[in-house]
Structures are given as C-alpha cells and as structure tokens.
Amino acid sequence: MGQIAVNKYLDFRNGKAKHYYNVLGNMNRKNVVIEDFFTGIALDTTNKWAVSVPGSSDSIAISEVSGGSVLMTTGTADNDSCMISSAIIFEPAKNPWFEIDLTITDVTGTALFAGFSDAKSESNNSIAIHYDGDSLTSAASDAAGFVVDADHATSSIMCCTVNDDTDGTADDSGIDWTDGVNYVLRGELNSDGDAVFYLWEADGTKGLTSVGYTASAVTTSDLYCVTVQAMTRANDGANTVRIHSIKAGQDR
C-alpha cells in the first residue's frame, strides 16, 4: 500500500459546496490525540479534565458561545489561581505537541501558563511558570509553555521552560497580548527534550509565527499533561480566560 504525503489540506468536496462535507467515512487515527472544543452541556471533570480551583470564588465551567468554550474565572483575592489539565500521558520520546486556542479578557490583571507540565495542579497563589514580582518563577519541576503575566514588566507572550527545577532562558515572542485578543498557542517537544513554540492570531491578522526554541527544555524521562493555569494579579479581582479549544497529541 502506497502513502500520500499532504503538506497543506485535504478538501473533501465530492462535487458539492466546500462546507457541505467534512469527511465522508470514518477517520482512523494512528496517533494519540486529545481534542476538545468544549461543546458539551457540562465540562467532563470525571473522565477527561482535572480541575483545580483552590482560590476564592474561582470557577471553570462550560460557557455557551458560538463554537463552544470553557470559561476560567480567577479568584477574587490577589494571586488566587485555578487550573484545568489532562491526564499525565505525554512522553517526549513520542514527539508530543499541544495547541491551545484562548482569549484573555483583562491582561493587566491576569497571569497565565498554557502548555505541558509534569503536574496537573499547583497550590493556590502559584501556577506552573509565572513572573511573580517580575521574577521568573517555576512551581513545576518540569514544564514548557507560554506565559503572560501582569506581574511581568511587559505584557509580552513569553516561551518558558523548566527542566528538573532549573529554569531555561525565556524567549520573548515580541508580541504583546492585548485585552480580548484570541491567540492559538502551539508547542512541540522531541526525544531530546527540546521545545519549539509557535503562535498565531485566531482571526488571521497575525499568521503562524515561530517564537521560541529551548534545547533540553524538559526532563525526557517524565510524562506530561497539557494544562491551562490562570491567576489573579494586581488585586484586580476576578478575571476571565476563555478557552476555545485544547488539542494535544503524540506519536503512537
């Protein structure tokens, strides 16, 4: 049986308008994939997502908007934090990747980590990697992802890693996250533990951009979950992060 390599897209039209068919027939995935557009009536916290809301009045719940979403609402007290995470199943040797589509409502009052971590949650007043008092701080022992933090000197989207409790050198994407803007964040690990980061603006204004690379970013013998973690900053009260989708996968 031969193989066909496709570098762009397969468009299944069958003589109809482009939107008429998605895929006719069953797609049999070879690789491991998590994919959630949060289209359910309620968030599946029994079998799919681990949710931690240790702060005051934090919440993470389905929010019914066009296309589906889950809304993270950070706590009312300064540095209150909350997290949503998958099972810890992603292995660097199998080239794992994540792709997270989200919107931050109030960047000046929020800290965010989105990516891979070796733990599903951290204690309140902390997230996997952040800029506590404008200093790079890692609560996780191993993690790789994107960080935006109101405690940081800028609102730039940072690519951050920690390997066995040693922080990597953060890469500044050069892109400031502004209120209400919807970005897609993508990270990839390889068998050497290297991390590569990409992002793009969901409305197409800013296309796919390579924004960071860290060699030996994480410990290769660990497994990881995909996670989004948010925290209230600047005594700003409750803020929201809207997650439109989380996707992650690895080779079989």
- End-to-end alpha carbon distance in the chain: 20
What pLDDT, on the 0 to 100 scale, is given for residue 179?
Answer: 96
DSSP H or E segment with residue 3: none
Burial classification of residue 105, based on how many CB atoms lie within 10 Å of its CB (0-12 exposed, 13-18 middle, 19 or more buried): middle
Spatial separation of the C-alpha atoms in residues 220 and 236, rounded to whole Å? 38
Closest CA to 114 of 85, 71, 152, 77: 85
Instruction: Give the pLDDT of the chain (252 residues) as one tens digit per residue.
Output: 466 667 666 665 555 555 555 566 667 788 999 999 999 999 999 999 999 999 888 999 999 999 999 999 999 999 999 999 999 999 999 999 999 999 999 999 999 999 999 999 999 999 999 999 999 999 999 999 999 999 999 999 999 999 999 999 999 999 999 999 999 999 999 999 999 999 999 888 778 899 999 999 999 999 999 999 999 999 888 899 999 999 999 999
What pLDDT, on the 0 to 100 scale, is given for residue 227?
Answer: 98
Burial classification of residue 15, based on how many CB atoms lie within 10 Å of its CB (0-12 exposed, 13-18 middle, 19 or more buried): exposed
In this structure, whether the domain defined by 34-250 belongs to CATH 1.10.10.10 is answered with no
Residue 92 DSSP one-character state: G
- Taking the domains of the chain in order of start, what are their residue ranges? 34-250
pTM over 0.85? The answer is yes
